[in-house]
Amino acid sequence: MKASARIDAALRHRAVKPSLFALGLVPFALLGHGALTDTLGANPAEALIRGTGDWTLRFLCLTLAVTPLRQALSLPSLARLRRMLGLFTFFYAVLHVLAYAWLDMGFVVADLVRDIAKRPFILVGTTALLLMLPLAATSFDRAIKALGARRWQALHRAVYAVAGLALLHFFWMRAGKNDFAEVGVYAAIVAVLLGWRVARWWTTRAKQPPRPGFAPVR
């Protein structure tokens, strides 16, 4: 048996999903423990906001990496983990917004609205979260049946817009401090993952036979 087949068989084990779920909660547990024990540094509010934001981007990158890795490494069972990774992306995005709304704005709605309108990077981040809402709400098998596979796939392509908005949000946030090192790392990862999809789409399109009635005029 090939190594890829053995790894794929291991990914089908019933313990894989519970293990991934537990691992996905580790950052949440560490941030919560740090908040309770006051070990998040001189500015715990900023640490919580930035930490949840960082993990949102990390899980987003992992979610986008599933399809390229599945095809490149011949691991079809990776697909069964994509939904959970996507939901963890949404989970940490919600925590990120809640941390900002609570620790920075004190849940004062009027202040929140003014801040979103005043600061573009917060507006962009909020838009990304709003785009993620229908993706999370339709991430279950029943939603796929209700929408139909084609419509469901078209809706979930919004994750590419989410990735772009998340990067822009991160870039603008770091622009005030002139700190772009991490932004460059995430941008490179997302560019590779989205570039792979574009290249695959282009290759598939080039292999398709020409449609009847579109022959060149001689």
The predicted structure's pLDDT at residue 204: 82
Amino acid occupying residue 36: L
- This prediction has a pTM of 0.92
The residue length of the chain stands at 218
Q: Count of domains in the chain?
A: 1
The predicted structure's pLDDT at residue 207: 76
Q: How many C-beta atoms surround the C-beta of residue 67 within 10 A?
A: 16
Q: Is residue 211 situated within a structural domain?
A: no
Q: Is residue 130 situated within a structural domain?
A: yes
**Domain span at residue 93?**
3-205
Q: Is residue 82 situated within a structural domain?
A: yes
Q: Is residue 216 situated within a structural domain?
A: no
Reported as type and span, the H/E element at residue 195 is helix 181-207
Q: Is residue 95 situated within a structural domain?
A: yes
Query: Helix, strand or coil for residue 82?
Result: helix
Q: How many C-beta atoms surround the C-beta of residue 62 within 10 A?
A: 19
Q: How distant, in Å, are the alpha carbons of 4, 8, 69, 153, 164 from that of 72?
A: 10, 13, 5, 21, 24
The predicted structure's pLDDT at residue 25: 98
Q: Is residue 96 situated within a structural domain?
A: yes
Q: Is residue 47 situated within a structural domain?
A: yes
Cβ–Cβ under 8 Å, residues 45 and 103: yes
The predicted structure's pLDDT at residue 18: 97
The predicted structure's pLDDT at residue 216: 40
Amino acid occupying residue 24: G
In 3D, which of 41, 123, 141, 139 has the Cα closest to residue 89? Answer: 139
Helix axes 158-175, 149-156, angle to 10 degrees: 10
Q: How many C-beta atoms surround the C-beta of residue 72 within 10 A?
A: 9
Q: How many C-beta atoms surround the C-beta of residue 55 within 10 A?
A: 23
Kindly write down the DSSP assignment for every residue of 144-161, as one continuous string: HHHH-HHHHHHHHTHHHH
The predicted structure's pLDDT at residue 178: 80
Phi-psi region of 97 (alpha: psi -120 to 50; beta: other; left: phi over 0): alpha
Q: Is residue 191 situated within a structural domain?
A: yes
The predicted structure's pLDDT at residue 205: 80
Q: Residues of the chain whose pLDDT is less than 70?
A: 1, 210-218
